[in-house]
Structures are given as C-alpha cells and as structure tokens.
Chains A and B, each alone.
Chain A
Amino acid sequence: MVEKTFTITDPAGMHARPASALVGSLSKFQSDITMEFKDKKVNLKSILGVMSLGVPSGSTVQISADGADEAEAMETIERVLNEQGISNQ
C-alpha cells in the first residue's frame, strides 16, 4: 500500500472540475484507492464520494492506493492534482 498527504491549495477547495478530472483518471486502475479527510474515508473512484467530503481550501487529505498497480496510480494522482492546480503538496 502507498499513502501520501496532500494540501488542497485551490481557493475553491476540491470543487467539481478538479474532482472530476481526478476521479476520471482513476477508473482504469485495479487498486483500491481511498481519500481520507477529517476521519471520513471515501472511494476515490467515486465522484459522489469525493464531493461528499466537501474538502475546503487549505485542508490536508490522506490518499492511499492498495493493489497491483498502486505505484502507478499514486503517480497519476500527483500529476492530476498538480495539473489541475488544486494541490502542490
């Protein structure tokens, strides 16, 4: 299992556009991928799950991937978060 902590820097928090980009990029991975915020853990492949966390700007989230392609999945997550400008870690 790989795990990483990210700080959400977009002033609007984790809103629909970046959340869509992130979730959309993960469906191809076998691994179980989760995001945890304030003791609540959701499936990161679920847009409704991610949105339900309502992550505001400035907060930190814990993302973990567990499975055969976990390393590759985590790379994708970092890349998308950076591209979308919502987190620079």
Chain B
Amino acid sequence: MNRISGIAASNGIAIAKAFRLENPELTVDKKNVTDTQAEIERFGQAVNESIAELEVIKKRTAEEISDKEAAIFGAHLLVLEDPELIGPITDKIKTDSVNAEFALNETSTMFVDMFEAMDNEYMKERAADVRDVTKRVLAHLLGVKIQNPSMITDEVVVIAEDLTPSDTVQLNPKFIKGFITDIGGRTSHSAILARTLEIPAVVGAKSAMSTIDNGTIVIIDGLEGDVLLDPDEATLAEYKEKQSAFASQKAEWAKLKNEATVTKDGVEVELGANIGTPKDLTGVLENGGEAIGLYRTEFLYMGRDNFPTEDEQFDAYSAVLKGMEGKPTVVRTLDIGGDKELSYLTLPKELNPFLGLRAIRLCLEMPDMFRTQLRALLRASVHGNLKIMFPMIATLDEFRQAKALLLEEKAKLEAEGIEVSDSIEVGIMVEIPSTAVMADTFAKEVDFFSIGTNDLIQYTMAADRMNESVSYLYQPYNPAILRLVKNVIDASHKEGKWTGMCGEMAGDEIAIPILLGLGLDEFSMSASSILKARSQLSRLSKADMEGHVDHILGLATSQEVEDYVKNL
C-alpha cells in the first residue's frame, strides 16, 4: 500500500477507482502517401468519429449542465462540417500526396493564424476552438485517446495535474466521488469547487499523476489530506468506518439547520455562505445559511464567449436575492485578473498578476463594463436585501470613485422610472494591508467591511498563494494577521458599522474562537462548513474568548497561537 500526502481541500472520505485525466502530446510528422484515396477515407473516418464523440458530449453537457455550456460543442461540430476546412484538407492530401495529419495541421494552422491576427479579442479566441477541434481529429488519426470529463459514467476519483474552471464545467458530481490534483492549494478553483459540490478532495499532492494508475482503488481522506493507494482489507474497513462516522456527524450537524447561531453565553452571530452561482443557493439553504456573505460574480463572466448582458446579470442577481427571501446578501462586484482570466478579454501579460490590474482596478479602468454590472445590481435590489461590496480596495479614492459610479447609475435608473432599493449598503473587501491599517478612516465612509483573508494573508506575508514552495507562509493565525483583523473590527464598531469575514479563515476551527473574541459580526464560509461552525460556536463563550484575545495577540508566532487555542 502506498500513501501520498497533500493538502486537505474538502472534507469527507471517498473510496473509488482512480480515473486519470490526461492531456496527451500530439506530434505531427510529414509523410508521403501513395494511396491518397485511402488517406482521404482515413481522414473522413477520423472526422466522423470526432463528430460522433462531440454529439455525445454535447448531449450530455446539455442534460447534466446547461444548453448554454453545451453550445460550445455545437460550434465545434460546425467546424468539423465546415466545407472551407474539410475541402482544402482533402485537396491537400490529393495534390501534395501527404498524410492526413499533416494536411489537417497545415490547414487548421492557417485558420488559427488568421483568427489570431484579427484585432478583435473575441475573434482571437476562436483560434482556440479551431485548435481544440483539430486536436480531437488528430487524436483519432493518431489513435490517441482524448479524455472528456463529461464522458465519465462510473463512480471514480479523478486524478489530474490540475482542474481548470472549464474542465470542472464538465464534471458530473454524480460520478466524481473526489479529486486529487498535483498542484493547487486550499483556495485554488478545484478546491473551492470540491467544497461547493461537497465531495472530498486532496490538492497539492505533487506525485499523484506519477504514481497512481487508472483503476487503482484509492482512498481520499479529505479531512487529513491523505491519499491511500491499493488499501488492504483492514485499512479499507478502517476508512469505511471513518466514512460513516463523518456521515453521522454531518447528520448531527444537520439538526442545527434551522437554529440560530448562539454562543454558550447567549450572543448571536451571523453565519453566511460564500457562493459562485445561483445554483449554489440550494447548498446555502440546505446548510442553514443565515446570509450570503460573498457572492462571487465573476463566475457569471467565465466559461462563455462574451460579456454577460445587463439582463443576464439582472436575472442571476434577482434569482439569488429572491432565493434568500430578505436575508442579507453581499454581492461582490467583478473580481477578475490575477489567477482568474476571461477568454474574451485579453489583458496585457503581467509579471505579477496578483499585484496588477485586477478587480476594482480593472473595473475603474473599464467603466462601461462596470456600469453594466452596477445597473443590473441596482435593478435587482428591489428583490431582496442587497449589499454591494467592492473588491481589492487599496485607497479611499478607489472606493469614492466606485461609489460615485454606483450613484450615477442609480440616478439614471430612477430618471428612467426604474425602481431601485433605497437601503443598499455599500461596503468593501479588506484584503490589502493598506486598507486594513487605514480602517478607521474607511469606516467613516463605508457601510461595512468584509475581510478577505486569502488575499489579506498573501499580501501581508508577501507569499504567492499559488506557489507551493512558500505555502508555509500561508499563516491565518499569524499574530500579524490577527492584529490587522482586530484593527478592522474595532474601527467598524467605533463608527457603528459591522465587519464580516469571507475568506477560508472564517470557517476554520482554530480561527473561529479567536474571531469570536475579536468581535467579528458575520462569518461567511463554504456552505458545507456552516453547520459545523454553528455547532462549535454553541459550545464557545464570547465573554471567555474576549478574555483570551490580548494574550493571543501578544503571542509571537502562528504556531504559538494554534497551540494556545487548541489547549483552551
């Protein structure tokens, strides 16, 4: 039996066969063929096989996910039937007596180059479609199997180098019992997705792809971050036990679903959920979320080929606000750049994307795009309790500019006779140290703070959170972070405002007692962590924790804080 250790990214135990998601290299050599007719037939065969495959993927994506996501495969099918692509390829095979792989590659490269040379970003992206289709046909010609996550119809554990957001669009939680990825951390997309789908995951496992064969029985322990290969009977029994213990603990937590979150000494706090799409609402309600502390709107912009229209956005925001039935809903305006890219918006390559043109910086740079989102939000505001939050605010000027745009759009809508709520709170994410330090000044102008710990830690510790070599610096309990958090909470309370936290730290067992003692008003986390947190908070006393805060903030290291809290 073999054991691999990685980062525990999503709770639970999964036991299933391994399924390797590979990305094969396809190399094309030029060869002369004598029987060109046979070569053309071979090419036709590969095209037909590709069409059949795409038909299945398209149908399945439409059934399991949505027609919108399936449309991309419809476009791929048309490319395969395109006379302007197929014609020149068969001509080339005939007149140059070359192999089909070479003729295909030459012809499609011509189209790829043509699209890439266009000065329209959206058209440039079509080059990717041609490449994608070419790759599929090439694979059939070369007899190499290309994997499509949507083709998985067995209960498996997926092993991959990494899972991109577009890969995950095709993953069906009915069959995918868990993930193991070689790269990534607790806050990478695949990890967040695993928690949303409530399936166990271990990320940053480094050697999974190099050691795990297809079909190997794998145990994922998403609680500890362990992966066990080919377990013996005893180990299998042990983990089945652990699996059912986890299930019964979950059932225990489920009883707290409709309860308020009250500490042992009778103090109420609010437990919210972080969501990415209206589809995540189900999870929020099933887990007894009292609010949405973070609605990441960027997913609305991802996995498509142009910007979402105002109406599309209005529909999504309204659905979430209606679904929450008047409970607080904090919507974060578009946060792209950094590790999140949009295929139809090409931004200049940056050496330090996390320190570059992203989030509010980009929105202020592209005010038309930003105004569309603000209008959609304002129009949706009458359907619930909307709070708008701007990400990556570093200076008060940025906040003032963003708020001015919001007020302008509000005035325009009202002039058009469109109803807009008058009680929308406008706040900011605190994730940049400058803002945490200046919280007292900000507190006079914003309605609330929400501390984004993933980025606040990364920027405070100057440690790229995607870089595993410096992952030891991802220290939520470092007193430097805790002091910044205290500064923000105190500043908001002094002005009669509130502070929430929407980073991973808000759902962390060690952090929760400290945050309670610091006076945090709202904890927002993955929906699947809410009931566990509610159960933990019911056993904690706020007054007690307040008594420990000074001591904790005076400790020297992250480890000292962790040890101290564990021994309380």
Contacts and interface: CB of A to CB of B under 8 A. Distances in A.
A, B: real partners: yes
Interface of A: 11-12, 15-17, 20, 23-24, 27, 42-43, 45-49, 51-52, 54, 56
A15 B122 contact: yes
B71 A47 contact: no
B82 interface: yes
B553 interface: no
Contacts of A17: 71, 75, 305
Query: Which has the most chain A C-beta neighbours within 10 Å: B71, B74, B78, B309?
Result: B78
Contacts of B122: 12, 15
B75 A16 contact: yes
B84 A48 contact: yes
Contacts of A43: 83-84
A25 to B, nearest CB: 11
A27 B85 CA distance: 14
Interface of B: 71-72, 74-75, 78-79, 81-85, 111, 114-115, 118, 120, 122-123, 126, 129-130, 305-307, 309
B81 A27 contact: yes
Contacts of B85: 46, 48
B114 A52 contact: yes
A16 B305 contact: yes
B78 A15 contact: no
A23 B306 CA distance: 20
Given A17-B75, A20-B71, A20-B74, 13 more contacts: A12-B307, A15-B305, A15-B306, A16-B72, A17-B71, A20-B75, A20-B78, A47-B78, A48-B84, A49-B84, A52-B118, A52-B123, A54-B118
Contact of B120 (A16, A20, A46, A54): A54
Contacts of B307: 12
Contacts of A54: 118, 120, 123
Contacts of B126: 16, 51
Contacts of B118: 52, 54
Given A16-B305, A20-B71, A20-B74, A51 B123 contact: yes
Contacts of B306: 12, 15
B78 A23 contact: yes
Contacts of B305: 15-17
A23 B76 CA distance: 12
A16 B343 CA distance: 13
B497 to A, nearest CB: 39
B74 A45 contact: no
Given A15-B305, A51-B126, A54-B118, A46 B75 contact: no
Contacts of B78: 20, 23-24, 47
A24 B306 CA distance: 21
Nearest to B126: A51
A14 B473 CA distance: 48
A24 B123 CA distance: 19
A47 B133 CA distance: 13
Nearest to A24: B78
B115 A47 contact: no
B33 to A, nearest CB: 25
Nearest to A49: B84
B115 A51 contact: yes
Contacts of A11: 309
A20 B54 CA distance: 15
A52 B343 CA distance: 18
A52 B127 CA distance: 10
26 contacts: A11-B309, A12-B122, A15-B122, A15-B305, A15-B306, A16-B71, A16-B126, A16-B305, A17-B75, A20-B71, A20-B78, A24-B74, A43-B83, A43-B84, A45-B82, A45-B83, A46-B82, A47-B78, A48-B79, A48-B82, A51-B126, A52-B118, A52-B123, A54-B118, A54-B120, A54-B123
Query: Which has the most chain B C-beta neighbours within 10 Å: A17, A24, A46, A51?
Result: A51
Contacts of A46: 82-85
Nearest to A46: B84
Given A16-B126, A20-B78, A23-B78, A52 B71 contact: no
A12 B81 CA distance: 25
A24 B78 CA distance: 7
- Report the 9 A-B pairs with minimum CB-CB distance, sorted nearest first: A46-B84, A47-B78, A54-B123, A12-B306, A46-B82, A20-B75, A54-B120, A49-B84, A16-B75
B75 A47 contact: yes
Nearest to B122: A15
B450 to A, nearest CB: 33
Contacts of B120: 54, 56
Contacts of A24: 74, 78
A16 B123 CA distance: 9
A47 B72 CA distance: 13
Contacts of B84: 42-43, 46, 48-49
A48 B75 contact: no
Contacts of A56: 120
A51 B123 CA distance: 7
B300 to A, nearest CB: 16
A49 B111 CA distance: 9
A70 B71 CA distance: 28
Nearest to B72: A16
A12 B71 CA distance: 17
Nearest to B111: A48
Query: Which has the most chain B C-beta neighbours within 10 Å: A23, A45, A54?
Result: A54
A11 B312 CA distance: 14
